[in-house]
A and B are shown apart, each in its own frame.
Chain A
Amino acid sequence: MNTSKIHIPGGRLALAAILATTLAGALPSLHADEQNFPLQSYRVGPYAAGGTGFFGGFIDYLNLVNQRDGGVNGVKLTWEEGETQYDVERGVEVYERLKNTPGIAAWNPLSVGIAYAMIDRISDDKVPLITINHGRTDSTDGRIFPYVFPLLLNPYSETSAIVNYIGSKVGGLDNLKGKKIVVLYHGSPYGKETIPIYELLAKKYGFTAEQIEVPHPGNEQQSQWLEIRRANPDYVVLRGWGVMNPVALKTAQKVGYPVDHIIGNVWSNSEEDVIPAGGAAKGYTAITTQATGAQYPVVQEIVKTIYGSGKGNLSDPKRIGSVYHNLGILNGILNVEAVRVAQEKFGHRTLSGDEVRWGFEHLKLSPERVKQLGAEGLFHSIDVTWDNHEGDGFVTFQQWDGHKWNVVSDWIAPDWKLLRPIIERSSEKYAAEHHITPRTQASAEAAISPSGAIENASAPASVAK
């Protein structure tokens, strides 16, 4: 076992170096001072509300870094958009079209389906794939998925954080014993992903979890809510998507279930989910990784610098500081800081995708650093390592008062220790199916430069496990 562990990463790297050299020779020479973010955005189609907000915020932040700081240490940030309408095939097409752009830092599709289709491709091309707040849960395991980063919050952590929050509402996790929680989930792969985790947590804390499916798209929920009324649970978790969310809130009101006992998950937490429900949403609480509002310094700078000069990406300035816009800004911060971390190691120049991967694997933003970035209160912190690609993100809960979201909790940590073995079981199954040998920390420390050379500054012997 041990010998294979030592030999195989080296062989793989040598092979990768040869491949990268050939590739580098075939590609047009890199611009000395540009780092590119290809965007598989969706501005039309059923999920346009999320797409315009997220990609708008991302672009706004990249713009801010360019305009305010002249890029990252003089390296200008560029981006190119391709419309996907959230379709997997279109996402693949855009990937193949844009992947030869010089100096790509990372891909950020914001779509589970597109992300799945890209895992093999980005692993071959050695470029990071960022799936903030979503994606494959088991890609948290950086040993098996070196290039995939479900930053801040994977679906399992989200589940654990919601249960912890409900625990705090009933006066501690011990008091969950004997309580009843209904999970109302969207009838899709996304909706079903957390079923086993709710069951696991129910067993651990002694509450009953009743999980009820709402068939896609979810514009009729009378029977489900009558069932909930009958079950009379202490809390309802809404794991919705799109039109299902406002309909759930309205139907809850109709059957007389108290809205302040409904907790929304991370894709049921936007203005677009509550505004259509009108008064029925007042008092509804939902989880988020980034607080809402334009009062944070970084958002204010975007308002002043970018929207002040008419370069803002949102067509409706009222959406500045909304849930999806702030998520885009936060995503921008994480990407840019990963580039910065990698630049400190490899030099202030255009980096290869593999070097940016190294940057993400050393992306540690303490609350102090977050404050320096003007994002204190917007999000808590992140600490990504070579084998933990989620980065221990904290979450908070916001309540809708009929006009805006208000933060109603501290920053809450999910129970990562409990979840890690489940994640590893799943990723190891993937590794077995795909004949992948888990990476070691030593091989994670090495990175391939744009010219194809292997850089490995730190001593591998001292850090190897």
Chain B
Amino acid sequence: MATRSLTLFPVRLAGIPSWVPVAVLLTSAYGIVPLLGSTYLFEAILLPFLCLSLAAVGLNLLTGYAGQLSLGSAAFMAVGAFGAYNFSLRVPGLPLLASFALGGVAAALVGLIFGLPSLRLRGFYLAVSTLAAQFFVQWALTKINWFSNDNPSGVIDAPPISLFGISLQSPAGRYLFTLTVVLALTAFTARLVRTRTGHNFLAIRDNELAARVIGVPVLRTKLLAFVVSSFIVGVAGALWAFAYLRTVEPAGFDLSRSFEIVFIIIIGGLATIRGAFLGAALMVVFPLLLSRVGSLLLGKRFDSGALDLSQHIVLGALIIFFLITEPDGLSSLLGRLTAILFPQNTNHNPKQ
């Protein structure tokens, strides 16, 4: 069971044990990418990709697994970022990882408070009440100067990253740090959804009444989903501020960021860990690819603004196309793709 939780492909490849793809991916992520990657790859692609993936893993736990729609992810990211900043600023000598964890705990507490309406509200009504978190947190962070250490413009600079005295301030260092945190929390989530608690999440999502009848503690489980999800999203926000942008203003965590994370899990696939990563990859990498191709092909004739607008149209059309072809998201699309590529490897012919 433990290996299944880390399975990368939905279909087992013939003759290859399921740990091999994981090992290959880990080796390349830890061994090859840091050696060969350019600064651009780290700063513009991998760091935002990893941070958004983690946020999507967190939201997927709440929305995909437990069925509680939230539009407040960016707010929890902001709490995590500002929390980690304030803990590391105000508690001298606090190790970086501890301030990240405390930032996550702060986000979890805020998540708990804004999760309370979920006890009475469902679906769109709950989504609207999580919007309150979005607006309230942004307002509080702008209004109360203490959060940004009385910095007149309310923008904070993240302190340098170091671990056990080793500076991780280089792009590759920040990448490795982010990768490790993201992988650890992803592994935790993958494990969690296969425990009793994870099954309770699914039960509540599928039918709350039935879940109550079979003895699932609905209230506690819902709040737990909010707490764990907000913790993960909060750590993702701290990574976003500390490792990726290295600066943060409350406006960076606005409603459109919340929507972006919701889109990532819808496009990637609800209730899949893999989907969060696939969706984040699409949202980060695709616009960049489009902009490169667009400026290569049309750069001479149009200004950057017109190019940018046309990319929006192409990206929008592609998202619609993906969702029509596979409403269950990229994760499911990947499953069908591997099934087509390796038709003999389905579970029906285990001997081949």
* A438 at the binding interface (Cβ < 8 Å): no
Residues of B within 8 A of A433 (CB): 89, 157, 159
* B91 at the binding interface (Cβ < 8 Å): no
Instruction: Please report the C-alpha to C-alpha distance between residue A253 and residue B157 in the assembled complex, in whole angstroms.
Output: 41
Given contacts A83-B305, A88-B252, A136-B153, contact A119 B247 (CB under 8 A): yes
B40 in complex: contacting residue of A97, A193, A194, A435, CB < 8 Å: A97
Contact B157 A116 (CB under 8 A): yes
B157 in complex: contacting residue of A82, A92, A96, A119, CB < 8 Å: A119
Q: Quote the shortest CB–CB distance from B306 to chain A (angstroms).
A: 8
* A465 at the binding interface (Cβ < 8 Å): no
Residues of B within 8 A of A82 (CB): 304
Residue among B43, B288, B306, B307 with max Cβ neighbours from chain A (10 Å): B43
Contact with A along B33-63 (1 / 0, CB 8 A): 0000001100110001000000000000000
A430 in complex: contacting residue of B157, B246, B308, CB < 8 Å: B157
B-facing residues in A399-455 (Cβ within 8 Å)? 426, 430, 433-435
A96 in complex: contacting residue of B44, B145, B303, CB < 8 Å: B44
Q: Quote the shortest CB–CB distance from A460 to chain B (angstroms).
A: 29
Q: Quote the shortest CB–CB distance from B341 to chain A (angstroms).
A: 32
Instruction: Please report the C-alpha to C-alpha distance between residue A120 and residue B159 in the assembled complex, in whole angstroms.
Output: 11
Contact with A along B279-296 (1 / 0, CB 8 A): 000000000100100000
Q: Quote the shortest CB–CB distance from A417 to chain B (angstroms).
A: 20
Residues of B within 8 A of A48 (CB): 305
Contact with A along B117-155 (1 / 0, CB 8 A): 000000000000000000000000010010000001111
Instruction: Please report the C-alpha to C-alpha distance between residue A52 and residue B306 in the assembled complex, in whole angstroms.
Output: 12
Contact B155 A189 (CB under 8 A): yes
Contact B251 A113 (CB under 8 A): yes
Instruction: Please report the C-alpha to C-alpha distance between residue A83 and residue B309 in the assembled complex, in whole angstroms.
Output: 10
Size of the B side of the interface (Cβ < 8 Å), in residues, is 31
Contact B157 A43 (CB under 8 A): no
Instruction: Please report the C-alpha to C-alpha distance between residue A96 and residue B153 in the assembled complex, in whole angstroms.
Output: 25
Contact A83 B153 (CB under 8 A): no
At the interface, is chain B mostly helix, strand, loop or mixed? helix
* B343 at the binding interface (Cβ < 8 Å): no
Instruction: Please report the C-alpha to C-alpha distance between residue A194 and residue B153 in the assembled complex, in whole angstroms.
Output: 8
B-facing residues in A108-127 (Cβ within 8 Å)? 112-113, 116-117, 119-120
Residues of B within 8 A of A119 (CB): 157, 247
B48 in complex: contacting residue of A81, A89, A97, A192, CB < 8 Å: A89
Given contacts A117-B246, A433-B159, contact A81 B303 (CB under 8 A): yes
Contact A187 B43 (CB under 8 A): no
Instruction: Please report the C-alpha to C-alpha distance between residue A371 and residue B305 in the assembled complex, in whole angstroms.
Output: 35
A-facing residues in B244-267 (Cβ within 8 Å)? 245-247, 249-252
Residues of A within 8 A of B250 (CB): 189
* B160 at the binding interface (Cβ < 8 Å): yes
Contact A43 B303 (CB under 8 A): yes
Contact B152 A92 (CB under 8 A): no
Contact B153 A41 (CB under 8 A): no
Q: Quote the shortest CB–CB distance from A419 to chain B (angstroms).
A: 12
Contact with B along A323-341 (1 / 0, CB 8 A): 0000000000000000000
Residues of B within 8 A of A112 (CB): 153, 155
Contact B152 A426 (CB under 8 A): yes
Given contacts A44-B305, A96-B39, A426-B152, contact A116 B48 (CB under 8 A): no
Residues of B within 8 A of A188 (CB): 142, 154, 251
B249 in complex: contacting residue of A92, A99, A116, CB < 8 Å: A116
* A93 at the binding interface (Cβ < 8 Å): yes
Contact A434 B308 (CB under 8 A): no
Contact A113 B152 (CB under 8 A): no
Residues of A within 8 A of B304 (CB): 41, 43, 81-83
Residues of B within 8 A of A113 (CB): 155, 247, 249, 251-252
Contact with A along B335-349 (1 / 0, CB 8 A): 000000000000000
* A350 at the binding interface (Cβ < 8 Å): no
Residues of B within 8 A of A117 (CB): 245-247
Instruction: Please report the C-alpha to C-alpha distance between residue A242 and residue B247 in the assembled complex, in whole angstroms.
Output: 24
Q: Quote the shortest CB–CB distance from A39 to chain B (angstroms).
A: 8
Given contacts A89-B245, A188-B251, contact A52 B305 (CB under 8 A): yes
Residues of A within 8 A of B306 (CB): 43-44
Contact B40 A96 (CB under 8 A): yes
Instruction: Please report the C-alpha to C-alpha distance between residue A347 and residue B347 in the assembled complex, in whole angstroms.
Output: 72
| Chain B residue with the shortest CB-CB distance to A195 | B152
Q: Quote the shortest CB–CB distance from B114 to chain A (angstroms).
A: 21
| Chain B residue with the shortest CB-CB distance to A196 | B152
| Chain B residue with the shortest CB-CB distance to A113 | B249
* A270 at the binding interface (Cβ < 8 Å): no
Q: Quote the shortest CB–CB distance from B244 to chain A (angstroms).
A: 8
Pick the 5 closest A-B CB pairs, nearest first: A43-B305, A189-B154, A83-B304, A83-B308, A189-B153
Q: List 29 A-B contacts (CB under 8 A).
A: A41-B305, A44-B305, A44-B309, A48-B305, A52-B305, A82-B304, A83-B291, A83-B304, A83-B305, A83-B308, A88-B245, A92-B43, A92-B44, A93-B43, A96-B40, A112-B155, A113-B155, A113-B252, A119-B247, A120-B247, A136-B153, A188-B142, A188-B251, A189-B155, A189-B251, A192-B142, A192-B152, A433-B89, A433-B157
Task: Point out residues on B near A: beta carbons under 8 Å.
Answer: 39-40, 43-44, 48, 89, 142, 145, 152-155, 157, 159-160, 245-247, 249-252, 288, 291, 303-309
Task: Point out residues on A near B: beta carbons under 8 Å.
Answer: 41-44, 48, 52, 81-83, 85, 88-89, 92-93, 96-97, 99-100, 112-113, 116-117, 119-120, 136-137, 187-190, 192-196, 426, 430, 433-435
* Additional A-B contacts beyond A116-B249, A433-B159 (17; CB < 8 A): A41-B305, A43-B303, A43-B305, A92-B44, A96-B39, A97-B44, A112-B155, A117-B247, A120-B157, A136-B153, A137-B152, A188-B154, A189-B153, A189-B249, A192-B152, A196-B152, A434-B159
